[in-house]
Amino acid sequence: MISISVLDTVPVSEGSTPRDAMLASAELAKAAEEAGYARFWIAEHHAMDGIGGAATAVVLAHIGHATATIRIGSGGIMLPNHNPFVIAEQFGTLDALFPGRIDLGLGRAPGADGRIANAMRKNIGQAAEYFPQDVMDLRIYFDGQAEVALKPNPGWGASGIEMWMLGSSLYGAQLAAQLGMPYAFASHFAPDHLDAALTLYRERFQPSERWDKPHVMAGMTVFTAETDREAQILASSQEQMYVALRTGQPGKILPPIPDYRESLPMQAQAMLAHVGQAAAVGSPATVRAAVGHFLDRTQVDELIISGATFDPAARRHGIKLTWDALSA
């Protein structure tokens, strides 16, 4: 059985607050740890009412104190938004608090629309051009061997931090291969380039001090319930979120609606079907079969599952059912 992890966006449901979402995420992380999941990652998104993980490192500190053994990390930090020195300090602090448990997944996208550049007073486009060097700077800080003008503390020599390259295109795959880093592909929401990206990464991988061969994680949207219909109803909350986001009306996570997808116009149904190419929704047997097909196709080393529900308890129950189904 390959390693399986959980990706969380700290979803904020209608009628709840960001505090409620953070408390629910901590409970989800504890459930994931108890079940046997390898990692619990938080995604950075900004200016969205339905997502509470914007201050990713702060949320991870909360998750770390709620758990004891599971690796925790970013899926990911959108590095062009930040100064790499500050990220080294933040994740160095997390490593000091939770040694040997911290992952730093790095992405090049802004995690929001173009207005985020003005809000952050940054030229995000220009910062994205510096992305490879910023990744190298972080590696230098965490290795703690080179001569530098200024050392982040905490962060300098924080060699227990595991750095990952994230991506949904060929760019991230190529850079991860060049730098000899593990690579996580966001197929749970951007499945188009999955096969090409994995092939490119594996073919061009250059061994590094930490990784002597390619190491790949891929994302899947997974909703598991006792029956296929129950799982499809649970998934409708996230489907509503996707439709709202794509139509420029993002909001909080809404209650599930039976037969929601069938009520949509054909264009919206097609969009959900496209996003759902890397999804498993159904009973334990249905999910086991769908995930097995995905693993056979991709031959990934690790799998990370996502899927926001309106009721946090349903997500906790779902990841337990998923674990039992995949470990059977």
Q: What is the average per-residue pLDDT within 313-318?
A: 98
pLDDT band for 327, please (50, 70, 90 cuts).
very high
Rg (CA), the chain: 19
Residue of 137, 130, 153, 146 whose CA lies nearest to 104 = 137
Helix and strand totals (H; E) in the chain: 12, 9
| Residue 274 confidence (pLDDT) above 80 | yes
Instruction: Please state, in angstroms and rounded to a whole number, the distance separating the CA atoms of residues 289 and 152.
Output: 47
Structure tokens at 59: 């949320």
DSSP SS3 for 79: helix
Instruction: Please state, in angstroms and rounded to a whole number, the distance separating the CA atoms of residues 170 and 176.
Output: 10
Strand partners, 75: 105
Helix axes 18-35, 312-327, angle to 10 degrees: 20
CA 139 to chain centre: 21
Residue 302 and residue 4 in contact, taking contact as beta carbons nearer than 8 Å = yes
pLDDT digits (tens, 9 = 90+) for 170-226: 999 999 999 999 999 999 999 999 999 999 999 999 999 999 999 999 999 999 999
Return the pLDDT at 65.
Answer: 98
Mean pLDDT taken over the chain: 95
Share of the chain above pLDDT 90, in %: 89
SS3 breakdown of the chain: % helix, strand, coil, rounded to 5? 50, 15, 35
pLDDT digits (tens, 9 = 90+) for 88-146: 999 999 999 999 999 999 999 765 566 766 676 667 777 778 999 999 999 999 999 99
Domain locations in the chain as residue ranges: 3-327
Return the pLDDT at 121.
Answer: 62
pLDDT digits (tens, 9 = 90+) for 246-258: 888 889 999 999 9
Return the pLDDT at 248.
Answer: 85
CATH second-level architecture of 3-327?
Answer: Alpha-Beta Barrel (3.20)
DSSP alpha helix (H) spans, the chain? 18-35, 56-66, 84-97, 115-120, 124-129, 131-143, 170-179, 194-204, 228-246, 266-275, 284-298, 312-327
Return the pLDDT at 1.
Answer: 80
Q: Count the alpha carbons within 13 Å of 164 in the hemisphere toward its beta carbon.
A: 23
Q: What is the DSSP letter of 156?
A: T
pTM: 0.95
CA distances from 180 to 91, 139, 155, 165 (A): 21, 12, 21, 10
Return the pLDDT at 114.
Answer: 66
> Which residue type, as a one-letter code, is found at position 292?
G
> Which residue type, as a one-letter code, is found at position 257?
I
Length of the chain: 328
Residue 46 and residue 75 in contact, taking contact as beta carbons nearer than 8 Å = no
Return the pLDDT at 120.
Answer: 65
Task: Mention every residue, 6+ apart, whose C-beta is less than 8 A from residue 264.
Answer: 243, 272
